[in-house]
């Protein structure tokens, strides 16, 4: 509300008519980004793997994280997930310093390597999805009807309800990915982090998977960060990209990224051709790390 002359104030007083300039209504502070990295660095011992990373992800964004093999994408995700601690810089999650952020269920994670389940692994799809829900409840509350309903809704959202009683190890990789997304949905995660979710699935499944993610982002406001190597797929489905090569070398519109010459030098010849089909000449591949 904008205060104007004569606007009743607290206690019914009136603003003095002659002297009062309009008092601007206090603006609500902008919502904190879900992820905020400032000057983040990391190394596994020797060489730095990440350096000087400044990256924010606002609520509602759908961000594609790109970069060649070994550029630090999975490591960056591990830092956001609290699985690795940066050697430099600061990390804030949901507006709080990462060390003080305890509500881990607010972040759902679909890791890069999933298919480690034995076919006889003793958990059904519904049980795996339920784990996400129950992690949120904590150890002292027993799941009730509302929790079971949340699991069913999550399974339905990823079209996995018919598989609810299948053992998790008896699913295809693409189906396992969906089960893990359902697990995040059941826990009501607000940020979903996926590390190369479609690396092992066929083109039709990949397309369907992106449609699923787009729907979750658009209709439920789920914030998504996804590592992907298929640049064309990212450009077609994702509003914003972050490109890593030890440093963050680009953040913004994927079309803009494709137009500029950032790819020159960080990806190999084949990838450059894929992304720049209209470019008449082919850039020679450069050594990794040659990018600005």
Ligand X SMILES: Nc1ncnc2c1ncn2[C@@H]1O[C@H](COP(=O)(O)OP(=O)(O)OP(=O)(O)O)[C@@H](O)[C@H]1O
Helix (H) or strand (E) run with residue 185 in it: helix 173-186
Burial 206-216 (b: 16+ CB within 10 A, else e): bebbbebbeeb
Residue whose structure tokens are 């979903």: 192
Could you say which of Mg ion, ligand X, none residue 175 binds, taking C-beta under 5 to 8 angstroms by partner kind? Answer: none
Q: Which is nearer to Mg ion, 136 or 247 (CB)?
A: 247
Largest CA distance in the chain: 81
User: To which residue do tokens 């893990």 refer?
Assistant: 180
Give the shortest CB-42-to-ligand X separation in angstroms. 9
Q: Which is nearer to ligand X, 70 or 143 (CB)?
A: 70
Q: Do 223 and 59 touch, CB atoms closer than 8 A?
A: yes
Residues 40-79: x where in contact with Mg ion by CB under 5 A, - otherwise, as a string: ---------------------------------xx-----
Query: With CB cut-offs between 5 and 8 Å by kind, which of Mg ion, ligand X, none does residue 136 bind?
Result: none
Residue with tokens 């092992």: 200
Residue 73 CB, shortest distance to ligand X, in Å, is: 3
From ligand X, Mg ion, none, interface partner of 75 (C-beta below 5 to 8 A by class): ligand X
Binding partner of residue 276 among ligand X, Mg ion, none, CB under 5 to 8 Å per kind?
Answer: none
Question: Do residues 186 and 143 lie in contact, with contact meaning Cβ atoms separated by under 8 Å?
Answer: no
Q: What angle do CA 144, 129, 109 make, to 5 degrees?
A: 125
Residue 49 binds: one of ligand X, Mg ion, none (C-beta under 5 to 8 A by kind): ligand X
Interface with ligand X (CB under 6 A): 44, 49, 67, 69-75
Q: Given the rule CB under 5 A, which residues bind Mg ion?
A: 73-74
């Amino acid at each position: 509300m904008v205060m104007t002359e004569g606007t009743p104030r607290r206690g019914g007083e009136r603003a003095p008519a002659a002297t009062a300039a309009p008092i601007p209504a206090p603006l609500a502070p902008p919502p904190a980004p879900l992820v905020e990295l400032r000057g983040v660095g990391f190394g596994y011992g020797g060489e730095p793997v990440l350096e000087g990373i400044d990256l924010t992800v606002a609520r509602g964004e759908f961000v594609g994280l790109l970069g060649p093999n070994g550029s630090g994408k999975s490591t960056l995700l591990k830092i956001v997930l609290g699985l690795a601690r940066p050697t430099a810089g600061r990390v804030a999650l949901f507006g709080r310093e990462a060390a003080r952020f305890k509500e881990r269920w607010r972040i759902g994670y679909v890791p890069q390597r999933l298919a480690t389940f034995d076919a006889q692994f003793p958990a059904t799809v519904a049980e795996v999805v339920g784990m996400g829900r129950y992690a949120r409840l904590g150890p002292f509350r027993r799941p009730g009807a509302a929790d079971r309903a949340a699991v069913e809704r999550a399974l339905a959202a990823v079209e996995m309800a018919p598989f609810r009683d299948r053992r998790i190890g008896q699913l295809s990789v693409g189906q396992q990915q969906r089960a893990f997304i359902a697990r995040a949905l059941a826990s009501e995660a607000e940020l979903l982090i996926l590390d190369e979710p479609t690396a092992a699935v066929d083109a039709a499944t990949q397309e369907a998977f992106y449609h699923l993610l787009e729907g979750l982002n658009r209709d439920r406001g789920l914030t998504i960060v996804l590592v992907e190597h298929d640049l064309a797929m990212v450009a077609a489905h994702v509003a914003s990209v972050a490109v890593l090569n030890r440093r963050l070398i680009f953040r913004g519109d994927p079309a803009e990224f494709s137009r500029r010459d950032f790819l020159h030098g960080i990806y190999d010849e084949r990838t450059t051709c894929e992304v720049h089909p209209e470019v008449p000449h082919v850039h020679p591949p450069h050594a990794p790390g040659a990018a600005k």
